C-alpha cells in the first residue's frame, strides 16, 4: 500500500489529467454519460478522487460531493483547489467505501 501511495504522491496527477488527450477524452466521456443522471442536485461520491477534477466539477454543478482519496498530497491539492474556487467538498482520507454505503446518514445518489 505504501508503494502505491508513494507512486501517486510523487506524480503530477493534475498534469496527467489535463496534458494527455486520452485523459481529456475519459473526462469528457464520463461527464457526458453521468450528466443525464445528475440533472438536479444530488449527493455524489467519488472514490479515488485524486486532486478533485471530477469532484470539483460536480460541486461546481451544485451537487453535494463526498471525495475519498488515499494519498495525503492529493487531498491537500484538492482542498486548496476547492478553497480557491469557493466550493465545498466533504473530503475523506482512505475511508472504506462500504462505510459510505452502509451509513444511513449518507444517502448517495451517484457513486463514481
- What's the pLDDT at 17? 74
What is the predicted pLDDT for the residue at 29?
94
Q: What is the mean pLDDT of the chain?
A: 83
What CATH number does the domain containing 20 carry?
A: 3.40.50.150
How many domains does the chain divide into?
Answer: 1
Q: Which grid coordinates are listed for 21?
A: 488527450
pLDDT tens-place string over residues 51-86: 999 999 999 999 999 999 989 999 999 999 999 999
- End-to-end Cα separation, the chain, in angstroms: 21
Residue in 46, 51, 49, 48 with CA at minimum distance from that of residue 13: 51
Domain that holds residue 81: 2-111
Overall pTM > 0.85: no
* Residues 6 or more apart in contact with residue 33 via CB below 8 angstroms: none
Amino acid at each position: 500500500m505504501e508503494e502505491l501511495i508513494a507512486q501517486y504522491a510523487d506524480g503530477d496527477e493534475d498534469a496527467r489529467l489535463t496534458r494527455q488527450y486520452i485523459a481529456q477524452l475519459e473526462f469528457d466521456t464520463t461527464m457526458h454519460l453521468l450528466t443525464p443522471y445528475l440533472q438536479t442536485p444530488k449527493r455524489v461520491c467519488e472514490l479515488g478522487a485524486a486532486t478533485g477534477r471530477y469532484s470539483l466539477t460536480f460541486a461546481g454543478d451544485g451537487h453535494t460531493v463526498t471525495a475519498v482519496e488515499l494519498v495525503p498530497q492529493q487531498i491537500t491539492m484538492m482542498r486548496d483547489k476547492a478553497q480557491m474556487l469557493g466550493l465545498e467538498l466533504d473530503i475523506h482520507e482512505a475511508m472504506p467505501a462500504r462505510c459510505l454505503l452502509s451509513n444511513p446518514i449518507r444517502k448517495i445518489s451517484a457513486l463514481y
